[in-house]
Structure 1
């Protein structure tokens, strides 16, 4: 087919495109830029993402045997994504720039939306958090129609290019799972662990929010809860980096000297409070980005993102780009990030690094189990809402029906309906998180049996992980479960941890 690239040439140019887009996203996310210019990046590669190129890649995929076909499938999916990005980049920039431009009146000043979101984690007064949370939610919700229109345009293109009009079936086919079976499994796990969760929630709501709290506090307090702010005197901002570095070193990883990993720990007004990894060109360029605010959440976030960074920076450089960066979904890399983060749930970790007695170490570890359970329950409810949302999307255009009810019932935190679109990640990412929670619990059980209860401070664990990291993004999360002898939907190890 004339005017198209062969798969190898397409993959090489695709790598440059993805690197440029990642670096633009990084600059905006960390607050180095206040204007997103993704549309300009996309325009530079307009020749790469055409209908003719897509059909050429599809033809190669159709003719290939199963092994090579997987690589070609991922290249074809990337081409589809590029066509969508080219069509919607300007609208995406407009939404991102609209969010960056939002200012909220607070304490006699007008502060950026992201600054307000960061303040919710560190504002000590309960009433102040409620007030600030309401202001930031209402300001963000004013962009909901733009979000909805962008979602609708993306869905229309995705359906056309893939040939699959059902968004739930389309995503399930791409992830090679049944989204409904996953939702059923995690819903059942949530129900079985509810008595344990309600007990621990009562304890930690009292400790973290105080006796004057509302019976059902609003989601304005979620960031304060996740930070475990009443324990911040123990988990100081200053200790965060050295403790996390030491934690990783005990597993055999020197995060500050790992080739390819670039740390961004600075605090900037427009820097997103949400930690992340941006793998621009793994294993050579992998950005680990955090915004420290003090509290145990800093440590857990750093360890979580370190799991991602070590995975991408540890992949075999001889792998094709497709298996160093592209994946059918994000579940595999989330397994590794959840596994590394889970070190902060070990009582021995709290005793070792913070000099706590055994009783206090167990108590603080219990706080992290509370957060683990809270997030699992939130995302299991979120997946249920998103399945309903997309099943009716063709008929109602996307409404918040069920969002507040499902998440409030699952967590005991009151969510407001207008937050539903800002809370929606692309491609059923909630499903990837949930699969990773299930899988990381299976891996931890395996590590305890194979290495011992102190797996979290043994270099043998790092050796095992390095072997997995070498594979890059090639295997699926479900393949890891099978290797360990588990059914992918076996939630028993996770339920044991949550209970």
Structure 2
């Protein structure tokens, strides 16, 4: 069978990824009721063969420097595509079943995604509990197929790479060990607990009411993250203008960025989780959000704007491997976490919402609490996922430890039945956590070099534009070294946890 050398492979891969991205976008935003990824994979089946993988591996071994890393990313994408080719039809079937799933609610039935989105806006505590239980029951009914797909992909990946241990395999792909990351974030969580515990009790009382359960269910997390009692201040209608003004202060005119294509519409089948799909950076970058009112709308917009500006700001002459491909997602998440952390700045609340200094500090504290509880959740999630995959070859994947770890870390109960729906591919939790550490380091650097009001200074935007030009080429660890930090130094992050604004 004939194979392609790296450059023609990269050109054809570019077209393939664009088609898959546009299909994913259409399903994600609710424009399509069914996913047809399998048909796209079938059309490009020649890209994902053992012979093609061997050709790329040989070229990688013969290359050096950036050229070698460029081909390595092509090889890793080919490697993933071999499993995609085998599993795309089954993954489409699961995605379409989830889209078709309905949650009984009163005298009606809600699409699963609509029911998940409604949890953020359902005002009554008891009703959120009941709806959350109904959502969990429907979602968990797909766990057997989720587990079966995980097992199949793990088997394919082990066979293709020759590495049976899922954790070791992912470490080789990312180029970083996961154990030290887990150790660092576990220490940061423990060090931050004395400040977090009273903050959690105060904000759970404020957000859920004094009659809440001592350990509320995770069904309330969307309400908590939305900071719903503050929604009269952070209205849905103002979220886009305020966020555009926030970015403009940094020197970014989002509406003038021709490559960024926002989708802000509210559709029944649109996923409630905001995202960016970089179909062809820097030319086509989709920014997708689903506003529902509340501060989380603003945070989600700014977070996804960080991704969108990164991809749309890359040098268009870079090869695909450095415009779009990466060993992981940790680099781009730095910029997203940096921008959404602006909601933790009291001055931002005072400037855009006319709040008193005291109220601005209070609301910024709420935003920091929301960010802190999310960090603690993900730090526990990484520990669970590493245990899950270490055990997987022997037990096939069980929920053991999921509820216990996440509940202890957050003070919110995460039911064991959610363990598979909550599992992102490729240890994405580790990428988030590396970005959390790095964004705190970058904020410390900006406060030192630009000023305490870094969040409204064009110098910050200029620094970011320089980083964006590099696309996905650098690692997050290289960014740490540039600004003078050890990659696992969590001191800036812990200092922010301890800060009373």
4+ aligned runs moved over 6 Å, structure 1: none
Match of 2:419 in 1: 420
Confirm or deny that 1:122 pairs with 2:124: no
CA distance in 1, matches of 2:5, 2:62: 14
**Cα deviations across residues 39-79 of structure 1 (Å, max 9, x unaligned)?**
01101101111111110000101111233110110000010
CA distance in 2, matches of 1:244, 1:51: 47
**Cα deviations across residues 254-294 of structure 1 (Å, max 9, x unaligned)?**
11121200000000000000000000000000000000000
Match of 1:178 in 2: 177
Deviation at 1:243, TM superposition (A): 0.2
Confirm or deny that 1:151 pairs with 2:150: yes
- Two-structure CA RMSD over aligned residues (Å): 0.6
Match of 1:290 in 2: 289
Match of 2:255 in 1: 256
* Contact 1:276/1:288 (<8 A) preserved: yes
Confirm or deny that 1:274 pairs with 2:249: no
Match of 1:309 in 2: 308
Match of 2:368 in 1: 369
CA distance in 2, matches of 1:68, 1:282: 20
CA distance in 1, matches of 2:78, 2:13: 9
CA distance in 1, matches of 2:428, 2:281: 21
Q: Secondary structure at the match of 1:137?
A: helix
Confirm or deny that 1:380 pairs with 2:379: yes
Deviation at 1:317, TM superposition (A): 0.1
Q: Structure 2 unaligned runs (5+)?
A: none
* Contact 1:88/1:154 (<8 A) preserved: yes
CA distance in 1, matches of 2:159, 2:414: 34
Confirm or deny that 1:472 pairs with 2:471: yes
* Contact 2:207/2:227 (<8 A) preserved: yes
CA distance in 1, matches of 2:46, 2:7: 16
**Cα deviations across residues 457-496 of structure 1 (Å, max 9, x unaligned)?**
0011000000000000000000000111110000000000
Match of 2:18 in 1: 19
Deviation at 1:428, TM superposition (A): 0.2
CA distance in 2, matches of 1:65, 1:288: 35
Deviation at 1:360, TM superposition (A): 0.2
Match of 2:187 in 1: 188
Match of 1:4 in 2: 3
CA distance in 1, matches of 2:173, 2:332: 16
Deviation at 1:177, TM superposition (A): 1.4
Deviation at 1:27, TM superposition (A): 0.3
Q: How does 1:92-491 map to 2 (within 5 A)?
A: 92-491=91-490
CA distance in 1, matches of 2:59, 2:39: 30
CA distance in 1, matches of 2:215, 2:494: 25
* Contact 1:372/1:498 (<8 A) preserved: no
CA distance in 2, matches of 1:259, 1:173: 36
* Contact 1:11/1:321 (<8 A) preserved: yes
* Contact 2:23/2:36 (<8 A) preserved: yes
* Contact 2:76/2:173 (<8 A) preserved: no
Q: Secondary structure at the match of 1:4?
A: coil
CA distance in 2, matches of 1:398, 1:445: 40
Deviation at 1:29, TM superposition (A): 0.4
**Cα deviations across residues 193-238 of structure 1 (Å, max 9, x unaligned)?**
0010001101100110000100000001000000000000000000
CA distance in 2, matches of 1:173, 1:450: 35
Count how many residue pairs are aligned between Structure 1 and Structure 2.
498
